[in-house]
A = this chain, B = another copy of it.
Amino acid sequence: MSAQNSTIYVINPNSSTVVTAGIDAAMEPLRPCGLRIECVTLEGTPKGIQTQRDVDSIDGPLLNRAAQLEDSACGFVVACFSDPGMFALREQSRHPVLGIAECGMLTAMSLGQRIGVISILSTSIPRHMRLFGAMGIMDRIAADRAIGMGVADLADDARAVALMSETGRMLRDEDGADVLVMGCAGMARFRAAVEQAVGIPVVEPTQAAVGMMIGRVSLGWAGKTDAKAAR
């Protein structure tokens, strides 16, 4: 790939720089790979993406920002667990585009058999279930349980870890999960603590997506699915 195309842009669709900072810190272990990993915050979007309206409002800002970054990019990661705008960005960009919900689940499928998802609010769950159904992986879902904290509430680390750990144990013991996925980019910094507390693998979805992107960029396989399928 050409010199000017050497950056993986991880776009945080919400406008919370705190969340972006958490994502950026989570990228550290992946930075030795030789590709620049830059985390970007969209502007004019909600502080947290919690409703379907929030999800649907991301598309325009995301496509516009990605268009500006296209020439310096080698790949894009959409860092919201509802994968807003992912398929539209795949149509627009000539680079690989990955979403954290899709990659978080695909990664979990290689770490365990029954996936438990830890969500922020119960209102997120029907949306997640539609996404898992669209992925055709419902048979791999143990359950999706919410901790009942909004994105902003996650600032309370102690409470977040406690609730996520308790929810993780329920997913493990009552629902039979043997791997967990954190269902919000804002949970990134809690991965180690929750895995420690629950004792089964915990997937941080932005790390999962960028982890998959590194190889994808090297292989040069772009995700222009729909367009390519057209004839």
Contact = CB atoms under 8 A, between A and B. Distances in A.
A197 interface: no
A129 B114 contact: yes
Interface stretch (A14-22, A118-126, A154-162): A118-126
Contacts of A34: 32-34
B135 A136 contact: no
Contacts of A122: 229-231
A178 interface: yes
A228 B200 contact: yes
A79 to B, nearest CB: 15
Copies per complex of this chain? 6
A46 B42 CA distance: 25
A3 interface: no
B139 A138 contact: yes
Contacts of A227: 123
Contacts of A126: 112-114, 178, 225-226, 229
A136 B102 CA distance: 15
A178 B172 CA distance: 22
A228 B144 CA distance: 17
Contact of A52 (B87, B131, B140): B87
Given A56-B85, A172-B229, 13 more contacts: A29-B218, A30-B218, A33-B214, A57-B60, A87-B127, A106-B106, A107-B212, A114-B125, A121-B230, A126-B225, A200-B229, A211-B215, A214-B214
11 contacts: A51-B91, A53-B63, A102-B109, A110-B212, A111-B221, A113-B130, A123-B227, A127-B226, A133-B136, A133-B139, A178-B225
